[in-house]
Every structure is written in structure tokens, then in C-alpha cells.
Structure 1
């Protein structure tokens, strides 16, 4: 399926015309400087102007971003993306006065202005969030400097993406007599192979290539961490983690509780590897063996049409309106599933307020690809409902809440497939997939979160981030989180350089907390718990009208309760027992 971007722009000419219009309009920011509080009418005029720029900018960026990702070697769309980044940075500099000027007053003053012009009420929630940041906003000149620095500090993430997705060459592997190139898109297929030699050879080829660039990677990753810590310090936060979590209104205790909760339950998790080692008939289970399928007899393929029908049928439990929108998305090409050269690996969903959501993925007809589409359309439907029920300034939900809807879809899909098969091998595969997903999303992402936190703390405490200190820390954590039933090969330490989210700022922990919340929501809906579906659909509509913790409470989840981690690991153990019974 080829994505249709015509709702964004009909063609490049239309994109460029809109780009030029927006670029010409942004100079008007200067006329408001020093005058935002001249009157309620002037403030409203500015807020509407700023919203118009933001809405149009979002649409422009999406067009450049998606086209660039469809062919990372296409210099034409690389140039569009560079144009957009430059425009964003220019707007950031031109509007750098806004926060400090708005914060020269307080929320009470803004509420008085609402009495003078009731239309300002539409911006109350966004202004409330801004005033929450008042003590961390600097003077006008300081904000301008930070704005300029931020555009430079974003470079490590951009550089790492090109290095990982276009410059690394992993070589070729022979499978079934066919010589195949190893890429980021198909790498997971080789690690899932029933042939241990293929798993081993691909592992060595991949990490030998990354090792050859370890100095470059270490420099990029350390620059990202240094930048994060510096920005946090400039803002007045005690740490980069505190700064990142504060923006989403998340107490750092939740981050610590996650790591502690997962670590305290690792003994339950290690039982899985003991079982899998036996199921795979391995004398030694290497870390690259942990991804292997436990059954050779099940390798079902799903055509795209068949896969989309299964997704719609499985998610029909979420109601007629939900599936109606899904059908519309599939029929109108909101998604790109093609496997083409130089396309960005992996999958994602993105959105702008003026159009429907978009999904980009690489579909290879495996169950994992089916799950990925369900996952990304969890995001898409979350965007869709939030967009339809909120104004622009209130539709963008937090990242912390974002990973819930996607995981709910995956859990419901797997349960549907298990309930609709009598094939023993398929049940084995699906149960193992459930356990693998738990490993990848709860355990592994928590390991990533601890690694990210440790590196930032090391740098903040004056320890140099060298290729040795970075990779040694990653290797140490792998040994802790994989346990004694797995031989943790030394080369896995280079994996840290190819994890894209390490070049962002404290993102990965939300995969774990999101999956934990999703397990409760999905199970309540599947089991027909009274009110569960209505609560969940209400959660999808909230946008940013409530903070993430309050939003989850609407959905029936209390993530503050540390017992939730014991409960999900208990569910993991039960699924493992079900799988073991199939081998008796």
C-alpha cells in the first residue's frame, strides 16, 4: 500500500507555495513583542496568530518528514526537511520573547482578561500549563540564547538517524540458498530464524559493523547526553530526567518505581529463558537466540488484505465507530506498507491537526508486521479521537499516555488470534509472541530506561562518557536483565549505539509503563468488565485536557500503585504456564 499525502498537499508546488506564505508571515511575531498584555483583544489576536502559524507549520513539516522517510537518499526531500528545520528554528528565535512576556503576569491575571474577552477561555488550559513552568522560564535574552542553542543541540539525533539508516552496511547472509542483504528492516527476521547459524552470523555481522564505527557513535551519544544535561541545568532543573518528566507532569518517583518493580520480579521472567532454552534444544542459549521462534512448524503469512481484515475483526470489540474509522483509513491509504530501498526502518504514526493521522511501516506478511499495524493504528485512533474532541492547543496528548492505546490494540489482537485457532503450533507461537512482547516492552525497555538514566548521571557527576564506559555499562545491564540462563555475548554491548531512542531524551520508560497500563485496560475490555470500554474511549478523547496520570485514572488505571508491576509479572507467569502445557 502506497501512502496518499494529497490531504497534506496535492504536490510539491503546493507545499512550496504554503511554505513561502508561512515564511513571509512569521515576521509579524515582532509586532507583538512588548505588547501582549496591552489588552485582552491584543492577547487574543496574538494567540490566534500563533496558533495559525503552528497549525500550518505542523502540516508542512509532516509532508517533508514523511516524504523524506520514504526515501532517505532523496536529496530533494532532505532539502525540504532541512528547510522545515530552519523555519522551525527561525520561528523559535522570533517567538523567544513570548514565554517570558506571558509569564510577566500570572494565571489570576489571565482569568481577569477572560472576563474582558470570553474567547480567551479557549486558551485557558494551555496558559495554565505555561504558568506551571514560570519558575523555569528565563529572561527574554536568556530564552533567545537557549532557543539558538537548542537548534544545535538537536543535531546528535539527526546525525545518528542517517548513520544508522543509510551509512551502516551489514553485508549479506545466505538463507535457503538465497543471498540476502542484512538491513535494519529485515534484521529481526534473521534473529527469529530457526537456524542458529543464521542467528549467530547475522549477530556478528551487525555488531562488527557497529563496532567499526564505535568512536563516531560514542561521540554522538555522549554529545546528546551532554546537551540534555546542559539544557536541564540552564532551565534550573536538578537533572535532565527531572526536566524531561516535568514537561509531561510525571513524578520522577514513577521512573524509579518502574525500575525497582521490574528488577524485583526478574526471577519470574528468567523462568521464560530456562523454558525457551529447553524448547529450542540448546546447550547454550546466546543472547541472539532469545528472539528465535520456538516452533518450526508455524510460519504463517498474512497478505495485506487478510491482515487488515483480521485487525478490523479483532478490534470490533472497541465498537462500531472505532472500526468504521479503521476501514476508512485502510480504504483511503492513510498508511505506507511498502518495502523499498532507503525507506526508514521500523514503523511510526504521525499526525497534524488539519488532516487525519498517517502510518509508515514495512510489511513483510508476518504476524509481527500485523501486530505493528494494529499498534500504530492504536496511536492513529488516539490522535483521531483527541483531534475530533479538542481544539488545536488541547488535542496533543503526552508521550506518557501515547503508548497505552497502541499496546491495547496489540493485546486485543493477540487474544483474538488465540481464541480463533485450534492449531497447537499457532497457539505456541502466539503465546511465545505474548511473552516476547512482554520481554521487549516491559523488561527490555526498562533496562533501556536504567541505562539512559545511568549515562546521564555519569556525565552529570563528572565521569567521562567514552566508548568503553558507555558499552561496559550496557553490557553490565544486559547481564542483570537477561540472567544466568542466557549467555550474554560481549558484542551485544555495541547494540546501545543502534537504539534510536537513546538519541532522544528519556522516552523509553514510557513503553514499559504504557504496556503495564494497557494490560489492565485490554484485559478489562476482553473480560467484559462493566464500564471498561466506555472509560477507555473517554480516555482516547481527552487529549491534554488532563495530565497523564489523571488520564490513566479515567481509563481505570492507577500507575502510582507499585503493586501493578507484581500483578503484570503474575500474568506473565500464567501465560508461561499455558505455553508449557502445550509442550507436555
Structure 2
């Protein structure tokens, strides 16, 4: 029997494809030194309590110290979490991450008086302070943001208690991460050649795209059989996370956990509601897509494990990582030379950790902080989907790069609501480039199919996640329990609703809620769908209008959080308080489906 292909250890990886964290800290000893320096700030922070309202200079001193502490703290935290994520079986860096999280909570507690104390200052006095000290005007928007949340900020002592609770309330997410990335072991399955391969998070979608239906089914069942064994623990963990969100919303006097979450970005809750409503309106179009898949694949029953397999066969759309880099760079030409130069800098400067290794965090993300490069974690596989992942994460990283370069620290971190715009705009440009540079009918069909699948994964699927998240929070808010059975029943029913009559919704999919890390991110997932919609509109403007649209878009990237996200997007050219951008994106899905269907029927 052929020896099973195993996942390499971190020590066996080629450094060429590993990120370089030395721009953050040259060594672990430097990290340790920085850790102690940040810890020493706690006393300085506490000493400022009760002084912020004394004068404009005192307020400025407090705000500057807060920035200085957080700037250094974030470097300590980012280094620790990146080291942990590259190999969560390394106990040293798991401990670093825990220590950094604890330090962050200590700093948060030491600074917890700042917002309540600022709110205790009369608004007229703050206006006077702004007039008296020109340097303080830098913080005008930040002060306005604090004032906006006046009714939801508690007393200094209460805020201190909440800050101290942070380490405890982060437990559900941390526990899930350790179960999901370190403890959970998946079985081996036989690939299409009969060779045994270990099932992993990184390989799962790769198996789901396999032309062998037996391989897809084996991987699907092996994945959910593994989660089934942990369903009680994972249900309890998710339940605790939901209760955490509700706890924070209630102590801060919000009407619901959803309202508390969207208000952090100053986004009306109707944006969330409008998204789900618009998706429901277009579910018949999505059902039509599922029915077409069933017809093209010539299936008696279209199962959940068939949803990832490409509809266009015998097309070579495999890309090595080197090829993927070149393709992404070419596709970004409409954004200008500087943008492309920064991307190339990322390629050459160790921003990216490319391949899967034992203990590495699953999935992909962009990280980093003020004063460091952006860092991208991948688990690269040689397929088109992973080329999209590369350009997606590079979009995040360029957004971070521009925001941190152009904004002072206080406004350098853009809000979560706009976080998915730059990433999905890059994807839209990649699709446009691929379609324009191929005359081959099958390749064009393959690309259109991939674009349709992007809508499926980023708009329809994330909206289903958002609806699930909304419902489970409402259930707990009504006093209902979240059990493995109730979660699975709800999740199964949503799959039936979203995928329609031509999908055989397998029972195992009912457990998918147990493996989605984003359910621990407090109403994050809807932003993928709204971000995709905004990106669809902005990419169309860039391709049709050229430089004026590019200029507006780059200003958006440079804006950080210097304005509210809705306002930044309006300046870029899209109004997300209206349902129109989501509907327009769904119309693009329908048009793409029409184009793909015409090519299929013309073969």
C-alpha cells in the first residue's frame, strides 16, 4: 500500500514560502522585552485617571498616551498570534498568545476610565478644549465617536469590571479555536487514485472539488463524522459565545445583540435586514442555478458534497503559487502602478505564509498592525479558488497598508463594515481580467462558473450564515436554549430554504454550524455580503470610468476610520444605506447565470 501523504511539520517548510516576522521583532527576546515595556505602562495609565477634564493639555496627554500604549501593545499581540497560528502545536507560542491576550485585558482595564471620564466632561468644555489646543483637533472625530455612544458607556468602575471580564468572555472563541485547529484530528481517505491522504481543513475544499464523487462523499462524511463526536462541546461553546454577545448588549443598554454589533460601525440595523430581504427575493434565481448544476452534472440527486465541483470539466485551471502571483498582479492593472508596486513589495518582503503545515491555522486571513507590514496567512492549493484567495487577502493587506500609511494611529484601523470591500473588489478585477484574456469557450465557462460560485459563497452563503446568527441570538434573547439538536434543525432548514427543491440536503450538513469560526465573530458574516455588493458596484465604476473612479477608490482605502464607514463608501461612489447595491449585485449574478447558461446550451 502506498504510504499516506502527510502534512509537513513547520520545521520542514521552505523559508521562501514562510512569512518574515522580523520587522515586528527580530527575536523572541525582543518580544519579551516589549511585553515588559507595555506592562510597565499600566501604572502610567492609572495615574492619569481623574485628570482628563482638567485642561485641553491634560486631555491631549491622555489621548496620546492611550495611542502610544495601544500601538506597542498591538505589536506584541500580533507577533504572538501570528506565531501561534503558524503552528498551534507549539506550546511556547500558544503561551505567548495567552500572555498577550492577558496583557491586552490588563491594558484595557487600565484605560477603561478614559471613555467614561471624557463623557463626564461637558460638551461645551470639550469644544472649548478643541479651540484652545490645535493639536487636540486631531482627535475631533474620535471625540465625536465617543459622544455618539454616550448612552451606552457605563461608569468608570463598571467599565473596569467589563474590561477585567474580557479574558473570560473570550474563552468560547479560544476554546473553539483550539478544538478546531489543534485537537481535532480527521481520518484518512482514499483519493481518486486509491492513495490514502489525511483529511484536513486545508484539503477539505480541494477534495470537494474532486471529479470523483466517491472522494467528495468520503471527505464530506469523514468531516462531519468527526464534528459529530464533538457536537455537544461545540454547541455549548457556541451557546456561550452567543450569551457573551447578549450580555454585553444588555449591560450597555442596547435593544439587542445585533443592534449593539452594527452600532459599533455606526451602521443602521436596516442594512442587515435589507440584505436578508434582498437575498430572499433572489432565492428563486439561486434555485435556478442549483437546478442548472444538477442538469450539467447529470445527477439524479444533487447532494451538498457536489456543490463545489466545477461544472466545466477537462479545463486546466491549475496555478502554482508563482503563477498565481503573476496573474493577480496583472489583474490589478486598472488600479494603477503604485498599487501594483505595493503588491509586488508584499511578494518580495515576506508578507505571506503560503503552504499548510502541521498545526497551522486553517483558512486564510490578513493581519498586522500599525508600524508593521501586513501579513497574509494562506493554506495554498494549486487551483483557481486559491488564486482568488490570494488576491482577496492582498486586497485586505493593501487596504491596511494605505490606511496605516496615510492616517495617524488613532484612525489607521478601518472598521469591520468596510473590511471586505477591498478584498472582494480585487476578486472582481481578477474575474474581469480572466474573462478578457481568454477566447477558449470552456475556460470562459469555467471562469463564469467560478464567479457564480463566488456569489454563492460570499453573498448567498454568508447571508444564510447571517440569518442563522440572527435567529440563534434572538432565540437566546427570548430565553430559549441552544442545543446540538436545535442548532442542527435550524441550520438544516435554512439549507433547504436557500438551496431549493433541486438540492438533496444531506443530514450531515446540519452540523456545519459546528465548524464555522465566523460564528464567534459577533455578526461579522453579513459584512462579506454587503462588502461584495459594494465591491461589485465600485469595480464596475473603475472599469467603466477609469481614473476618476480609481482616485475615489484609493481615497477610500486611505481613509481608515477617519470618517464613518457609510460616509467613506458614499464618497467612493456607493450608498449602502440603500438596498440598491445588494440588488444590483444580485442582478449581476442573474446576468452571469444567463451568460453561463447560454454557453452551456450552445455546446
The 5-angstrom pairing of residues 340-419 of structure 1 reads: 340-419=357-436
Report what 2:21 is aligned to: 5
What RMSD in Å do the two structures reach over aligned CA positions? 1.2
Report what 1:542 is aligned to: 559
TM-score normalised per structure 1: 0.98
Select which of 24, 31, 34 maps to 2:40: 24
1:102 is the counterpart of 2:118:
yes
What is the alpha-carbon distance in structure 2 between the residues aligned to residue 530 and residue 98 of structure 1?
43
User: How far apart are residue 96 of structure 1 and its match?
Assistant: 1.9
Report what 2:497 is aligned to: 480
TM-score normalised per structure 2: 0.95
User: How far apart are residue 530 of structure 1 and its match?
Assistant: 6.6
User: How far apart are residue 5 of structure 1 and its match?
Assistant: 0.9
1:327 is the counterpart of 2:344:
yes
Question: Aligned pair in 2 of structure 1 residues 426, 131: CA closer, same or farther (>3 Å)?
Answer: same
The 5-angstrom pairing of residues 422-461 of structure 1 reads: 422-461=439-478
User: How far apart are residue 563 of structure 1 and its match?
Assistant: 3.1
Select which of 478, 498, 515 maps to 1:498: 515
Please identify, of 100-109 and 16-25, the stretch whose mean Cα deviation from structure 2 is larger. Answer: 100-109
CA displacement 1:442-477 (0-9 Å, x = unmatched) = 101000000000000000011111111111111111
Question: Aligned pair in 2 of structure 1 residues 265, 22: CA closer, same or farther (>3 Å)?
Answer: same
CA contact (8 A) 1:106 1:131 kept: no
Q: How many residues align?
A: 584
CA displacement 1:170-207 (0-9 Å, x = unmatched) = 21111122210110011001111111111111111111
What is the alpha-carbon distance in structure 2 between the residues aligned to residue 334 and residue 554 of structure 1?
30
SS of the aligned residue for 2:120 comes to coil
User: How far apart are residue 419 of structure 1 and its match?
Assistant: 1.1
What is the alpha-carbon distance in structure 2 between the residues aligned to residue 471 and residue 105 of structure 1?
50
CA contact (8 A) 1:72 1:78 kept: yes
User: How far apart are residue 83 of structure 1 and its match?
Assistant: 0.8
CA contact (8 A) 1:73 1:342 kept: yes
Select which of 74, 81, 89 maps to 1:65: 81
What is the alpha-carbon distance in structure 2 between the residues aligned to residue 21 and residue 565 of structure 1?
47
Report what 2:50 is aligned to: 34
What is the alpha-carbon distance in structure 2 between the residues aligned to residue 112 and residue 457 of structure 1?
44
Report what 1:555 is aligned to: 572
CA contact (8 A) 2:268 2:577 kept: no
Report what 2:485 is aligned to: 468
SS of the aligned residue for 1:291 comes to coil
The 5-angstrom pairing of residues 4-403 of structure 1 reads: 4-175=20-191, 176-403=193-420
Please identify, of 147-156 and 392-401, the stretch whose mean Cα deviation from structure 2 is larger. Answer: 147-156
What is the alpha-carbon distance in structure 1 between the residues aligned to residue 386 and residue 533 of structure 2?
22
What is the alpha-carbon distance in structure 2 between the residues aligned to residue 476 and residue 190 of structure 1?
25
Please identify, of 422-431 and 539-548, the stretch whose mean Cα deviation from structure 2 is larger. Answer: 422-431
SS of the aligned residue for 2:376 comes to strand
CA displacement 1:407-459 (0-9 Å, x = unmatched) = 00011011111211122222121111000000011101000000000000000
Please identify, of 473-482 and 359-368, the stretch whose mean Cα deviation from structure 2 is larger. Answer: 359-368
What is the alpha-carbon distance in structure 2 between the residues aligned to residue 190 and residue 13 of structure 1?
42
What is the alpha-carbon distance in structure 1 between the residues aligned to residue 281 and residue 546 of structure 2?
29
4+ long deviations beyond 6 Å: none
What is the alpha-carbon distance in structure 2 between the residues aligned to residue 576 and residue 42 of structure 1?
60
CA contact (8 A) 1:245 1:252 kept: yes
CA displacement 1:276-317 (0-9 Å, x = unmatched) = 111111010011111111123024322222211111111011
Please identify, of 106-115 and 409-418, the stretch whose mean Cα deviation from structure 2 is larger. Answer: 106-115
CA contact (8 A) 1:125 1:394 kept: no
CA contact (8 A) 2:354 2:380 kept: yes
